[in-house]
Structure 1
Amino acid sequence: MKPPLSARRIALALLVIAVGAAQPSHAFAASCKQASTCEEAVVMWCGGYSRADGDGDGIPCENVCHSLEQVQKIKKEIGY
């Protein structure tokens, strides 16, 4: 059973904080090479890392995100 939506939002927020804390202050997000899940990639992309979707097809970090439907589902889950 999946955790409630609010628990997932909290988990993703903590992930963003952890990624931000691990990066130098001038770096906004990790690169796609560092993303290990599509969720991480979408959080980075929605947070302003526009290079994640280099070809403009709406799918960030295609090494971990494989479809527009997958990305849209994650965006809905995180409330973006």
Structure 2
Amino acid sequence: MAVSVKLDDEMRERIQSLADSKQRSAHWVMREAIRTYVEKEEARLGLDEATLASWKDYQETGLHLTGEEVFAWMETWGTDEETDAPPCHT
């Protein structure tokens, strides 16, 4: 699939400068920029969906942890006293 994007002169020069500094083509720089952007936005959408699913689950069950409980649990991470996640409660 061929795609065309119109860029102003300044942006073309910036892309070419980056390409030259990386010893890559301008085409490679643009493909990498698009790939990185798409991956970031897909991850953001996934996080949004997980957040909404968590909120719906909370509304249905009332199960949760307080911030203090989460922080106390996180303080054990990487120590000899590391614990499993505390159980959720209503």
Q: What TM-score do you get using the length of structure 1 for normalisation?
A: 0.31
Q: Which has the higher contact order (CA 8 A, sep 6+)?
A: 1
State the structure with more CA Rg.
2
Higher helix fraction (1 or 2):
2
